[in-house]
């Protein structure tokens, strides 16, 4: 009889152990396997939120099947106290384990609102946009010029949230003075700028920053990136270029940047100016003359006057020999690479062709014919304002 009782007890114990093992396996599969989320969502974790609150939000969004398993798994992995605030993109079918990893790893928000402070050649604007998790595209919610327009309420509400991403984007061709003046209007930056960086030494790029970062630190990063780009391009330069060092290459790159907005033309424009230098010709480039007139403080907004073309400045390339003393803007990587690897041409002239690009010529006679074509195009255009 005792043997019978013992046998039954062992049988029940085995069944219980198998059941427990099965339950554990099921729970592990629920935690690590694909979740029930059908479409991507943006999960916002606010400062002070708990795993319980996050699990409730995920349950309501249909992202997880069990808040208890979600919290227990985080606890067993030692991550229950490591929740990081931010906005996180949760993809379809994300497992509980991957969601725990996402919300505890931290780092920049991967969805939600983004403020992009864009510094251009002619204007600066601020764009507030938000990622649509379903389409993966950003939707613009507000846009304004901080120099002329007060920030809209929608921007003020979103920009002060702790999880908003802040970005400064610098366009090719802006001057150092323009960049520093624009950064003074970036309310999320702090500190004064004691001295202007050297002209041309700010890398056109996109910079993700934290609220409260200093303007000086951002400018230092812009200079660091431009130094790296220039050094890399200089190391890969063509042979026998008419530059005494990378500083002169940067000057040439800034001229190329201001002369053409057509990417495929940069190396050809570079060849024109390199050919002129090698033949002892003056560069005769209007953007450099304009820099001497405006000192890089604003776009000229009109054509050059004859008096300005004949005015003696260190940047009047109709009067001086060789390159001007400094860059005339902040060139991008493509213009720097073009200056150091120009196309192999015999062109020494170019003029606008009416399409946004230029017509190039080897001889003055050919150039004069191109100029006549350009003047005819200009004459056929309706007067401004019509």
Q: Contact 79/99 with Cβ under 8 angstroms?
A: no
73-86: pLDDT as tens digits: 788 888 778 888 87
Residue 289's closest CA among 271, 312, 272? 312
Q: What is the overall mean pLDDT for the chain?
A: 86
Spatial separation of the C-alpha atoms in residues 121 and 173, rounded to whole Å: 6
pLDDT computed for residue 35 by the predictor: 78
pLDDT band at residue 46 using 50, 70 and 90 as cut-offs = confident
Separation of alpha carbons 2 and 44, rounded Å: 61
* Percent share of the chain, pLDDT over 70: 92
Structure tokens at 122: 């002619």
- Portions of the chain given CATH number 3.30.1490.480: 33-110
- The class of domain 33-110 in CATH terms is alpha beta
Enumerate residues 6+ apart whose C-beta is below 8 A from 289. Answer: 304, 308, 309, 313, 315, 316, 317, 318
Confidence of residue 8 (pLDDT cuts 50, 70, 90): low
So what's the pLDDT on residue 384? 54
Mean pLDDT of 64-77: 81
What is the b/e burial string over 284-299, where b = at least 16 CB atoms within 10 angstroms of the residue's CB? Answer: ebbbbbbbbbbebeee
User: What percentage of the chain carries pLDDT values higher than 90?
Assistant: 47
HSE-up (13 A, CA, CB side) for residue 321: 3
Q: What is the pLDDT of residues 240-255, one digit of tens each?
A: 999 999 999 999 999 9
279-325 residue pLDDT tens: 999 999 999 999 999 998 988 888 888 888 889 999 999 999 999 99
């Amino acid at each position: 009889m005792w043997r019978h009782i013992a046998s039954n007890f062992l049988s029940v114990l085995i069944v219980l152990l198998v059941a427990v093992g099965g339950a554990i396996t099921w729970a592990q599969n629920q935690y690590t396997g694909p979740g029930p989320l059908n479409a991507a969502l943006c999960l916002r974790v606010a400062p002070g939120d708990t795993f319980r609150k996050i699990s409730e939000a995920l349950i309501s969004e249909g992202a997880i099947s069990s808040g208890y398993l979600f919290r227990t798994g985080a606890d067993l992995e030692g991550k229950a106290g490591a929740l990081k605030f931010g906005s996180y993109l949760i993809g379809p079918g994300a497992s509980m384990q991957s969601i725990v990893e996402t919300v505890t790893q931290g780092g920049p928000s991967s969805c939600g609102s983004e403020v992009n402070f864009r510094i251009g050649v002619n204007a600066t604007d601020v764009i507030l946009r938000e990622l649509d998790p379903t389409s993966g595209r950003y939707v613009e919610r507000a846009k304004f010029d901080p120099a002329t327009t007060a920030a809209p309420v929608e921007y003020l509400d979103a920009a002060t949230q702790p999880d908003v991403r802040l970005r400064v984007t610098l366009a090719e061709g802006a001057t150092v003075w323009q960049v520093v003046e624009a950064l003074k209007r970036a309310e999320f930056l702090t500190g004064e700028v004691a001295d202007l960086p050297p002209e041309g030494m700010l890398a056109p790029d996109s910079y993700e920053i934290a609220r409260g970062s200093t303007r000086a630190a951002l400018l230092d990063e812009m200079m660091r990136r431009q130094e790296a780009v220039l050094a890399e391009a200089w190391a890969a330069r063509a042979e026998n270029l008419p530059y005494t060092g990378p500083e002169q290459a940067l000057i040439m790159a800034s001229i190329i940047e201001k002369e053409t907005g057509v990417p495929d033309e940069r190396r050809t424009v570079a060849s024109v100016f390199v050919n002129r230098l090698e033949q002892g010709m003056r560069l005769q480039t209007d953007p450099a003359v304009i820099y001497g007139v405006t000192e890089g403080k604003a776009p000229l907004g009109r054509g050059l006057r004859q008096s300005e073309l004949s005015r003696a400045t260190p940047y009047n390339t109709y009067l001086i020999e060789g390159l001007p003393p400094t860059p005339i803007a902040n060139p991008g990587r493509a213009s720097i690479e073009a200056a150091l690897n120009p196309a192999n041409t015999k062109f020494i002239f170019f003029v606008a062709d009416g399409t946004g690009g230029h017509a190039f010529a080897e001889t003055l006679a050919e150039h004069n014919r191109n100029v006549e074509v350009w003047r005819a195009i200009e004459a056929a255009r309706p007067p401004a304002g019509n």
